[in-house]
Structure 1
């Protein structure tokens, strides 16, 4: 009798468990127990790895559902508030998707297969661009594997400009990867999302990065936009009917912000966005990252340099660089050492005047950042820039270091701060059991809303011009505008003073109280070429 019962005991236990799992409260209790156990184990693993523990809400209801927007009250900011709905829906996800470290692992560090069918449903077709000094940068055009007809849109036809939405002249989105040049899963999903919405994404690769050959014995400095200037000019000349936009990922914002500042009103871009940007380059290099991330980045950087060790050996001490123990030491040995400076001085004849002045600067750490800080020419920026930052980002300095005065005083800078999002993650639950990237939807919707705003402002300016000039003046104005249609920049500015003499707002606010300031700035269209 007992032997028979013992033989049936396993089967009875399975039947009992199956019956209990049919009860909703039992399932919920089991899921909660397993999740809590996994959460405790992950916290212990973070402590062992000495990763900073950042509390994450267990449920979406516990999250603070708001996006704090810091900007100068202008007509553009008011328009964004009314029409950019993604900014009113912050990224909300539960653990484990919302964990900052897990987001970094899955969105930045997870391996991708280069040159093959990628997990995001995107492949790339490369154009190598020869620069003035003999260097080469790469432009990777994203092509959807599911919609091969998207590639046909590269041959643009004359016509009016349209922004995305599968038009005959889709807007080109220039995507700048992080300073290491790695194509991350986050970047691939951004390309896929942009293709789905009718944009035409192209990834810009610096010299020696992303599989791009290094034909000159030096890398690009952190904030030197000379190569990007030539790449953007190339895109403008070959696609004159398309609007140019730009998105940077992480430390790649140092290059994008430098470009916008140096080019000013001569930039061909209509709008830009920075996801988890680096505002202070020197502070970022001197900031102490969690040791695990620091060593992963350090090893990846050394592998890049070691690939061209023979060629770089003539201009820098490669052996010393490969034995460095910090990113700051590598950057300083590559660009601030005497040997590297002498080589740049000898090659300065073949560079433009701006590059020649860069090469003649004294090679020390402080002067290096005087010419490479991303915001060194912030008062020259003439296109709207949306920056997305998260409070739980473990790879950037604290939010207290963000130059909020710049966003309060410049009409072209907008800062959106979320409670969670990690570094270039911003995961959001889609309501169907999956997650999407909130940042992708925000920046793409932001581009469309900005384009609509400029279109309205352009019509207003055109009507005012008609009333002022009359019919004869109108014919002259129309011909002048048509001759300048090759320029995609739809707004320019009078230089605001953002330095020590900047006008401070007495009661800065992030809640869109615009009425008191809207009269101080108007969005005018002007050209400098």
Structure 2
């Protein structure tokens, strides 16, 4: 029903600017834009800190631009689950156009991200559903009359599906978007180091910077073997397997049992858009589960020829992001459908 109401969604055709020659250039321009927004001081976010029951630190980064400040308290809200080593700042390219759709936006910042120190030896590469539930409740408490959407970017897309599947009917989320997911995380990155060694290396170093650097004492004290293994990891999979104990699991297999989105997607109860690009160098085309939309009535899958990994540079000079456009088009139609049903 949502798709049938939108000509844009029915005729998806991402065409990058003429000067974007390939997926690598698309990704490079996207990364450059992220640095540009920060260096120009254009990022406008206000942090709401949350202390978890085990004294961990997570937060919600709220958009605080002039358009957002003008929104009524009952304006719909989109909650963003960031990338594997992301933050509120790093999500700005996706966020910046959202207020023009009449939506309020916030980013759920996980443990160890966004400058948060680890107060104990607990973090998860994919994020934690219990922490996400705390963030959702904080948003509901602040805006009790709002309609809620949720979008996950890259690793955040996996957390999104796991959260929606586990919570199912208990989740207040009315619409969702899983953007550039890897699907089966137990297998998705095993060949990445050979296929795209530079990509794997950059992400691995970023993971170490996010969780290991600055948290050495607390992590080493909890488990020196895991700490040394994380420090010595040369690939995403080596780091992930080594860090499993820090997420409260005995090993990577047990971690996947509780956190692999493919174990929980059938519990999704809200309309959910899944977006992938065939030239994605991180969540590669071979991982795409084309059968999921057929198995789950609430899921729609959109696959583009190009777009790279959460890049989708758009506009004559690359000023926009097409991924924001498709996400907000889908969510806005779901919101209007919700309003129609509640009248």
TM-score scaled by structure 1? 0.60
Report the CA distance between 1:263 and its aligned residue: 0.4
For 1:212 and 1:223, locate their aligned partners in 2 and report how far apart those are by CA, in whole Å: 14
For 1:312 and 1:261, locate their aligned partners in 2 and report how far apart those are by CA, in whole Å: 30
Task: Give the match for residue 125 of structure 1.
Answer: 46
Residues 1:90 and 1:167: Cα distance change in structure 2 (over 3 Å): farther
Report the CA distance between 1:94 and its aligned residue: 5.0
For 1:88 and 1:114, locate their aligned partners in 2 and report how far apart those are by CA, in whole Å: 31
For 1:369 and 1:445, locate their aligned partners in 2 and report how far apart those are by CA, in whole Å: 32
Task: Give the match for residue 308 of structure 2.
Answer: 422
Segments of 5+ residues of structure 1 without an aligned counterpart are 1-75, 154-165, 345-358, 460-529
Indicate conservation of the 8 Å contact 2:61/2:88, yes or no.
no
Report the CA distance between 1:248 and its aligned residue: 1.2
Segments of 5+ residues of structure 2 without an aligned counterpart are none
Indicate conservation of the 8 Å contact 2:45/2:88, yes or no.
no
Matches within 5 A, 1:459-498: 459=343
Task: Give the match for residue 227 of structure 1.
Answer: 131
Residues 1:167 and 1:182: Cα distance change in structure 2 (over 3 Å): closer
For 1:115 and 1:95, locate their aligned partners in 2 and report how far apart those are by CA, in whole Å: 26
Largest Rg, 1 or 2: 1
Indicate conservation of the 8 Å contact 1:115/1:123, yes or no.
no
Task: Give the match for residue 68 of structure 2.
Answer: 150
Report the CA distance between 1:215 and its aligned residue: 1.4
Report the CA distance between 1:200 and its aligned residue: 1.1
Q: Residue 55 of structure 2 aligns to a residue in which SS? A: coil
Q: Residue 232 of structure 1 aligns to a residue in which SS? A: helix
For 1:383 and 1:170, locate their aligned partners in 2 and report how far apart those are by CA, in whole Å: 19
Q: Are residue 99 (structure 1) and residue 22 (structure 2) matched?
A: yes
Task: Give the match for residue 329 of structure 2.
Answer: 445
Task: Give the match for residue 327 of structure 1.
Answer: 236
Report the CA distance between 1:414 and its aligned residue: 0.7
For 1:108 and 1:311, locate their aligned partners in 2 and report how far apart those are by CA, in whole Å: 32
For 2:265 and 2:20, locate their aligned partners in 1 and report how far apart those are by CA, in whole Å: 35
Q: Deviations over 1:64-113 (max 9, x none)?
A: xxxxxxxxxxxx2xx41332525524111255425211222222466638
Report the CA distance between 1:198 and its aligned residue: 2.2
Indicate conservation of the 8 Å contact 2:88/2:109, yes or no.
no
Report the CA distance between 1:287 and its aligned residue: 3.0
Report the CA distance between 1:232 and its aligned residue: 0.3
Q: Are residue 171 (structure 1) and residue 76 (structure 2) matched?
A: yes
For 2:115 and 2:38, locate their aligned partners in 1 and report how far apart those are by CA, in whole Å: 10
Residues 1:327 and 1:232: Cα distance change in structure 2 (over 3 Å): same
Indicate conservation of the 8 Å contact 2:110/2:127, yes or no.
no
Task: Give the match for residue 138 of structure 1.
Answer: 59
For 1:439 and 1:167, locate their aligned partners in 2 and report how far apart those are by CA, in whole Å: 25
Residues 1:116 and 1:394: Cα distance change in structure 2 (over 3 Å): closer
Residues 1:114 and 1:209: Cα distance change in structure 2 (over 3 Å): farther
Counterpart among 203, 226, 232 of residue 297 in structure 1:
203
Greater Cα shift, 176-185 or 410-419? 176-185
Matches within 5 A, 1:98-497: 98-108=21-31, 112=35, 118=41, 121-144=42-65, 147=66, 150-151=68-69, 166-183=71-88, 187-222=91-126, 224-289=128-193, 290-304=196-210, 305-317=212-224, 318-336=227-245, 344=248, 363-399=250-286, 401-429=287-315, 436-459=320-343
Indicate conservation of the 8 Å contact 1:228/1:259, yes or no.
yes
Indicate conservation of the 8 Å contact 1:316/1:334, yes or no.
no
Residues 1:218 and 1:168: Cα distance change in structure 2 (over 3 Å): closer
For 2:88 and 2:189, locate their aligned partners in 1 and report how far apart those are by CA, in whole Å: 21
Report the CA distance between 1:233 and its aligned residue: 1.1
For 1:127 and 1:291, locate their aligned partners in 2 and report how far apart those are by CA, in whole Å: 37
Count residues with an aligned counterpart: 338
Task: Give the match for residue 8 of structure 2.
Answer: 85
Q: Deviations over 1:372-391 (max 9, x none)?
A: 10121222111111011111
Report the CA distance between 1:221 and its aligned residue: 5.0
For 1:196 and 1:450, locate their aligned partners in 2 and report how far apart those are by CA, in whole Å: 17
Task: Give the match for residue 497 of structure 1.
Answer: none
More strand per residue: 1 or 2?
Answer: 2
Q: Residue 279 of structure 2 aligns to a residue in which SS? A: coil
